[in-house]
A and B are shown apart, each in its own frame.
Chain A
């Protein structure tokens, strides 16, 4: 019994210590991720902490299941509802399966938003997309144009001809092409998101168009394969590879010069914006409705569409100056 008494005393002390901050007037915002231990989300949590420091009266609870399942996230959500947190910002493992649990959270007065990977509209107040199709379409051609002051021939290496995302981005790129005079898109080829096929397509482009100045690959598989093809053909400096890629896979090619810059969302900004948005909704500064403009600190404002979704910003540009800071993250 002596041991049990000691245990009780110890837990009582712990309880008092833990109950302390909960009683203060801080807003508790839970950043729920797909699974713990993923670099991308650890970086988002850094952004959330940055937002908390800026806002002052915020306590960020960074949590998530061990593996990327909806059931795991529901257990986490139930625990958060029980703690009566002020807001939940979630990157969902399942668009639909989380809706009942999140609805329950909203019924009990908790602000719910989704970010990165969304929840069906009835299960959240707003969804924060990292970027939007027009912004991405504009960014990929801008990246090529930035390093071609005199213009020149560029080609697109896409995923498959039926890939929805890539096709929309290329379409959006074509719409804004006139804003970049001198940039001449000579061809669009498809590497099917296979490393070897993308590599051969990139080789083919360089042979067919000897004056090719840049390859735009809006796919993380294609951009790596194209950069490798350019290196192997010893055309570094002549042909610039750009598009959408992951810092961990592209760092080497950026340093070799095969790719001067590329873009992808910045997880730190994403975690930061999600936290500020959740705070603004929870404190009543803003209301999530179609057409609303909600401030998100240093990232500007989020404009919601009819589906209560909004795009955070342009994709973030990575080059030799910052790629090393992110290559260990994702």
Chain B
């Protein structure tokens, strides 16, 4: 959108599209830093365990992150717009419970998918209504609905479980499209492309950035801020529904504790992917690479039988490191200039 229609003489100077060339932008980008981390994790894993470089094992490893990453795409957009949804894991629990209940009533696979997606959408709409309709802060609303949605699952199920899903339903979480490529992996890739286009190549995506940077300014620029935010909550709910279908299909059973604690892993993935937790910036390729980094780190540690608690510590340190590093570097460069 270079301002070419105006005469440079009257304007005084040409406003450039970007301050840096695309190559330089990439070289100083977060995504490159993450990519280097990902490659290093991959190389380290290959050396640390003789079992890592096996196509089947790598395929199994992708299940560690595909479902969470699907939610992380939508969550990324939501966080860029300056909101957050902490109820995603509880939406999974509620959607899975609804699907389980539908199975008891004899629902077939297409119906189950419809139930999962609908419950996800409804939960997202509920969150979106409370935030945009009532003007409540999203962090408070979704902490509330986090307990609410999972609470309903606990009331319905107690200490019981829903099982007996139809055998063709297992395809979503256990099926393979060809050789070692799982259905979940294909879905993950397709969603990554869709979300990347949505955020980086549509008006809607520009609006999301604008709202995150300056909600009041966006409103005065004619962007329907509540409507965009409501759509983002719907999208996050829908993706939680998709993840619920995949996870339920993979487990073949529903318990109210399903996907417990996933909301934090999803947010971690988004932030590690370079999305500013305060909103306004971030990219889908970043989230994709972050998903791979997290999945490969946990799988690599798993192969070495590192206890889970050490993994959590490492993920925490990694998060702090990648957040702190660019700031430290920036401060160092600024001091050198002065």
Q: Are A97 and B252 in contact (CB under 8 A)?
A: yes
With a CB–CB cut-off of 8 A, which chain A residues contact B64? 75, 78
Instruction: Give the interface size bracket for A toward B.
Output: 35 or more
User: How many chain-B residues does the 8 Å CB contact rule pick out?
Assistant: 42
User: Chain A residue with minimal CB distance to B43?
Assistant: A8
Chain B residues 57-86 with CB under 8 Å of chain A are 57, 60-61, 63-64
From B258, B260, B303, A79 is in contact (CB under 8 Å) with B303
A76 to B312, CA, bound (A): 14
User: Chain A residue with minimal CB distance to B303?
Assistant: A79
A97 to B250, CA, bound (A): 8
Q: Report A's interface with B, CB cutoff 8 A.
A: 4, 7-8, 11-12, 14-15, 18-19, 22, 36-37, 61, 63-67, 69-72, 74-76, 78-79, 81-84, 94-97, 99-100
From A65, A79, A96, A100, B161 is in contact (CB under 8 Å) with A96
Q: Are A15 and B49 in contact (CB under 8 A)?
A: yes
Q: Are A36 and B49 in contact (CB under 8 A)?
A: no
From B56, B63, B308, A65 is in contact (CB under 8 Å) with B308
A75 to B302, CA, bound (A): 8
Instruction: Check if B193 is an interface residue, CB within 8 A of chain A.
Output: no
Q: Are B304 and A67 in contact (CB under 8 A)?
A: no
CB distance from A324 to the nearest CB of B (A): 28
Instruction: Check if B183 is an interface residue, CB within 8 A of chain A.
Output: no
Q: Are B47 and A94 in contact (CB under 8 A)?
A: no
Q: Are B48 and A18 in contact (CB under 8 A)?
A: yes
Q: Knowing A36-B307, A94-B253, A97-B251, say if A81 contacts B174 (CB, 8 Å).
A: no
Q: Knowing A97-B253, A100-B252, say if A75 contacts B298 (CB, 8 Å).
A: yes
A82 to B52, CA, bound (A): 8
With a CB–CB cut-off of 8 A, which chain A residues contact B57? 81-82
Chain B residues 120-174 with CB under 8 Å of chain A are 161, 163, 170, 174
Q: Are B161 and A63 in contact (CB under 8 A)?
A: no
Q: Are B247 and A71 in contact (CB under 8 A)?
A: yes
With a CB–CB cut-off of 8 A, which chain A residues contact B40? 4, 7
Chain B residues 281-313 with CB under 8 Å of chain A are 298-299, 302-305, 307-309, 311-312
Given contacts A66-B312, A79-B302, 9 further A-B contacts (CB under 8 A): A11-B43, A37-B309, A64-B307, A69-B257, A71-B247, A74-B251, A78-B60, A82-B56, A97-B161
